[in-house]
C-alpha cells in the first residue's frame, strides 16, 4: 500500500479549513490529519501527530503564519510548509521564504493546481508567484553582482565554493527549480542534484527551502 502523505491545515476560518480538508482527502495519496485554527493550536497538535506537509494561513489571531514559521523552525519541524493567502504580497512572501517556507499559494487556487504545488514542494521544489521571482531579481540587480556577494559572504563564514557552485547558488536563491537550473547552465538533472546535495552539506542545511532561507539571511535580501 502506498504511503499516505499526512497534511496539516492551519487557518482560522473553519469553512476554508474544512473545505480544503474535504477536497484533499478525496485524493488517494493524501490524508489531512490536523486541522488547526492558529499556530498555537498547531504546535499543541504536531507533537502528537507527525505530518509530511503543512498548509499555513498567514493572517490568524493569537499566532499568525510568520510567528508560526519561526516556532516551527525552533522545534526543527521537517515538514515543508506552503503559505496560504487571499492576496499576493511580495514582502510577505520574501519574509516567509527567509523563514523557510517552501511555497506560497492563493486560497482561491484550483484543487488540481494545489495538489500539484503540494507534490512539487514534497519533491524539493519551491512554489511561489512569478511576481515574487521578478521582485527578487529586481532587488538583486540593484546590488553588487549576486554570485560574487554570495561567495564573499560565505568566505567570511569559512565556507568555500567553486565557480559552478557559485552559479548554482545564485539561481537557487532566485527560486529556480532543478529543471530550470539545468537548462540555464546546460547540465543534466542528475548533475544538478549532485551539486545540490554537496551544497546542502557545505551550508549545513537539509533541503532547498532551508538553503534559500540561509542565502536570503546571508545577503539580507
What is the residue extent of each domain of the chain? 5-127, 143-219
Question: Can you tell me the distance from the alpha carbon of 199 to that of 218, in angstroms, rounded to the nearest whole number?
Answer: 15
Q: Given this model, what pLDDT does residue 97 score?
A: 80
Low-confidence ranges of the chain (pLDDT < 70): 1-2, 131-146, 220-221
Grid coordinates of 216: 536570503
Q: Given this model, what pLDDT does residue 143 score?
A: 47
Question: Can you tell me the distance from the alpha carbon of 65 to that of 95, in angstroms, rounded to the nearest whole number?
Answer: 11
Grid coordinates of 160: 568555500
Phi and psi angles of residue 206, each rounded to the nearest 5 degrees, phi first: -105, -20
Helix (H, G, I), strand (E, B) or coil at 8: strand
Q: Given this model, what pLDDT does residue 99 score?
A: 83
Contact between 58 and 64 under an 8 Å Cβ cutoff? The reply is yes
Non-local (6+) Cβ contacts of 103 within 8 A are 80, 81, 82, 83, 117, 120, 121, 126, 127, 128
Structural domain 5-127, CATH architecture: 3-Layer(aba) Sandwich (3.40)
Q: Given this model, what pLDDT does residue 119 score?
A: 92
Helix (H, G, I), strand (E, B) or coil at 111: helix
Non-local (6+) Cβ contacts of 215 within 8 A are 150, 169, 172, 173, 221
Q: Given this model, what pLDDT does residue 140 score?
A: 57
* CATH code linked to domain 143-219: 1.10.10.10
Q: Given this model, what pLDDT does residue 128 score?
A: 79
Question: Can you tell me the distance from the alpha carbon of 59 to that of 170, in angstroms, rounded to the nearest whole number?
Answer: 31
Q: Given this model, what pLDDT does residue 135 score?
A: 67
Q: Given this model, what pLDDT does residue 185 score?
A: 85
Q: Given this model, what pLDDT does residue 14 score?
A: 93
Q: Given this model, what pLDDT does residue 183 score?
A: 84
Amino acid at each position: 500500500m502506498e504511503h499516505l502523505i499526512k497534511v496539516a491545515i492551519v487557518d482560522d476560518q473553519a469553512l476554508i479549513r474544512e473545505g480544503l480538508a474535504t477536497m484533499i482527502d478525496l485524493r488517494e495519496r493524501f490524508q489531512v490529519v490536523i486541522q488547526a485554527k492558529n499556530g498555537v493550536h498547531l504546535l499543541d497538535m504536531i507533537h502528537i501527530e507527525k505530518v509530511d506537509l503543512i498548509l499555513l494561513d498567514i493572517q490568524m489571531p493569537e499566532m499568525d503564519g510568520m510567528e508560526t514559521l519561526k516556532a516551527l523552525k525552533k522545534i526543527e519541524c521537517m515538514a515543508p510548509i506552503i503559505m496560504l493567502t487571499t492576496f499576493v504580497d511580495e514582502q510577505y512572501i520574501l519574509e516567509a521564504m527567509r523563514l523557510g517556507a517552501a511555497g506560497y499559494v492563493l486560497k482561491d487556487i484550483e484543487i488540481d493546481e494545489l495538489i500539484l504545488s503540494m507534490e512539487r514542494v514534497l519533491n524539493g521544489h519551491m512554489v511561489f508567484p512569478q511576481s515574487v521571482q521578478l521582485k527578487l531579481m529586481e532587488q538583486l540587480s540593484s546590488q553588487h553582482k549576486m554570485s560574487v556577494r554570495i561567495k564573499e559572504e560565505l568566505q567570511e563564514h569559512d565556507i568555500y565554493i567553486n565557480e559552478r557552485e557559485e552559479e548554482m547558488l545564485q539561481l537557487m536563491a532566485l527560486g529556480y527549480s532543478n529543471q530550470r537550473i539545468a537548462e540555464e547552465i546546460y547540465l543534466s538533472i542528475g548533475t544538478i542534484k549532485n551539486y545540490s546535495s554537496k551544497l546542502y552539506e557545505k551550508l549545513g542545511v537539509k533541503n532547498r527551502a532551508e538553503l534559500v532561507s540561509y542565502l536570503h539571511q546571508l545577503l539580507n535580501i
